[in-house]
Structure 1
Amino acid sequence: MYREWKVAGVPGGVLWRSVSGGGETRVLPDGCLDLLWSSRSGLLVAGPDRTAHLSRSAPGDRWIGLRLPPGTGPAVFGVPAEELRDRRVPLADLWGSAAAEVTERVEAALAAPGDGAAAVLAGVARDRLRAAGGPDPIGAHVAARLAAGATVAATAAEVGLGPRALHRRSRALFGYGPKTLARILRMRRALDLARAGAPLAEVAVRSGYADQAHLTREVRELAGVPPTRLLAPARSRAQAS
């Protein structure tokens, strides 16, 4: 069981909750960072993945999460995204005793019906964003242009940065350089087209791959399996422990 909804006050943020049926979930990279509560592990931060993360859970494991769009997580968590790359980190490792107060608020909300625990996560993120002066605006612009298929060179020119400066800024904002982010976002765009019913050969052309074989290689490298394996009913970024 999984559902998600948008959150006010955190641009591009998405709240979600899930109850696991058990087994393994393949979590695809997306350039995002998540603030998570797990019935098994407590409060965690899921960093940006370069390749698919395989999560294993027991039946009945519960998850509540706030997914932060590319470039927003560093302003919330107070560390560069590259320090969290390919990692699941207890929130206490980043915030110390402040994480205990958040845990208490989440657990109190869980004792009542409704989505109060998710609201706690959203409120914490809003407060942290406000204190940080908001996310770096370059992050949203770079991610949007790359998601739309712009080249790294064109994107760098638009934001007024040289290639090396954009690479450094991207590692801090997204956890990896702009070329890696572009590959990840292109894969996700291609999979969205395929799930909408477009044939893979057409998907490859529309997404900017040389051909279907190129699409298949890229998806296999990033997701660990070919696109045909991913076109079964989608599993979300939930259970990202």
Structure 2
Amino acid sequence: MKPWDIHSTCKFSGGEATRTRLPSTSTSLIFVQLPSGESQLVVMGPRTHALYFPYKDIPVTVNAQFHAGWAGALLGVPVQELTDRVVPLHDLWGAEGKRLHEELDSNPRNAANRMENALVARMTDNPAGALVREATRWLDQERLPETARRLNISERHLRTVFTGSVGVSPKRFVQVNRVRKVLANASAHKGAQLAAESGYYDQSHMTAEFRATMGVPLSTYLAGDLPATATC
């Protein structure tokens, strides 16, 4: 199985509403064709906070989302250098990235296949990928020292490899995933039960972490009263 998932959308239109880009521990390679006919091929690193921006028409989007532990091996840089950043691929791959962008721009309908072929060509042995993948199975359930012992490595080594491969520390990885669980569970649970279902010690812990990550309290977010939008 390839260590990424590719999704394509066409003729997206969202009117005047605000779009939320949730915090995420994933890194993606994204090709977009804009209404002007111009295109971009960028790497979007992990996001530690939510972003809000106006909907806009994007005729074509192709998103290759890397599995945990693989972004660094495929992109050729430590992923923490990409955290909370959007970087043109040619800044990382040089002429190879520029050439791929030109190929995608010349034939957007075949962008997903061309992008996939380029990633396949860059696949290599990645021992860190297996370690990180196993760590992600346990970090939401137990403390970092317990996961390190389970994997038979030092806590320091796990933190170093994880941060370099994922782009966020194990602690931040857990925090982002907890906030996403709150959003996934909010329609079914409330208050202390929602906090417990999402992995928090108590409701106040959930409230503080949600606001710090999403920029608004949970009740405000669910009511649709979102922060001012920024440029996407």
TM-score with structure 1 length normalisation? 0.79
How far, CA to CA, are the matches of 1:13 and 1:87 in structure 2? Answer: 20
Task: Give the direction of change, closer, same or farther, for the CA distance of 1:109–1:144 in structure 2 (3 Å limit).
Answer: farther
> SS where residue 44 of structure 1 aligns?
strand
How far, CA to CA, are the matches of 1:171 and 1:82 in structure 2? Answer: 7
The letter of the residue matching 2:142 is A
The letter of the residue matching 1:164 is R
- 2:216 is the counterpart of 1:225: yes
1:76 maps to 74
1:144 maps to 137
- After superposition, what is the alpha-carbon deviation per residue over 1:154-210, rounded to whole angstroms, capped at 9, x for unaligned? 111122222222221122011121111111112222322224x22343121122212
How far, CA to CA, are the matches of 1:181 and 1:16 in structure 2? Answer: 26
**1:106 Cα offset (Å):** 1.5
- After superposition, what is the alpha-carbon deviation per residue over 1:40-61, rounded to whole angstroms, capped at 9, x for unaligned? 4510000112212334553346
Whether contact under 8 Å (1:20, 1:62) holds in the other structure is: no
1:199 maps to 190
Task: Give the direction of change, closer, same or farther, for the CA distance of 1:154–1:232 in structure 2 (3 Å limit).
Answer: farther
How far, CA to CA, are the matches of 1:29 and 1:159 in structure 2? Answer: 27
> SS where residue 25 of structure 2 aligns?
coil
- 2:19 is the counterpart of 1:21: no
> Which of these residues, 43, 46, 49, is aligned with residue 44 of structure 2?
46
2:227 maps to none
- 2:112 is the counterpart of 1:118: yes
- After superposition, what is the alpha-carbon deviation per residue over 1:98-154, rounded to whole angstroms, capped at 9, x for unaligned? 0122113322432x4xxx32232233223322x35576211111122224x222121
Same amino acid, percent of matched pairs: 28
Between 179-188 and 46-55, report the one with greater CA deviation. 46-55
**Gaps spanning 5+ residues in structure 2: where?**
225-230
**1:77 Cα offset (Å):** 0.6
> SS where residue 136 of structure 1 aligns?
helix
> SS where residue 228 of structure 1 aligns?
helix
**1:20 Cα offset (Å):** 4.2
Task: Give the direction of change, closer, same or farther, for the CA distance of 1:125–1:231 in structure 2 (3 Å limit).
Answer: farther
> SS where residue 168 of structure 2 aligns?
coil
- After superposition, what is the alpha-carbon deviation per residue over 1:187-241, rounded to whole angstroms, capped at 9, x for unaligned? 222322224x2234312112221222221211111121223344479xxxxxx95
Task: Give the direction of change, closer, same or farther, for the CA distance of 1:154–1:135 in structure 2 (3 Å limit).
Answer: closer
**Gaps spanning 5+ residues in structure 1: where?**
1-8, 234-239
> SS where residue 138 of structure 2 aligns?
helix
Task: Give the direction of change, closer, same or farther, for the CA distance of 1:108–1:189 in structure 2 (3 Å limit).
Answer: same
Whether contact under 8 Å (1:76, 1:132) holds in the other structure is: no
1:6 maps to none
How far, CA to CA, are the matches of 1:101 and 1:193 in structure 2? Answer: 43
The letter of the residue matching 1:137 is A
Whether contact under 8 Å (2:23, 2:49) holds in the other structure is: yes
The letter of the residue matching 1:144 is R
Whether contact under 8 Å (2:144, 2:170) holds in the other structure is: yes
Whether contact under 8 Å (1:31, 1:69) holds in the other structure is: no
Which has the larger Rg?
A: 2
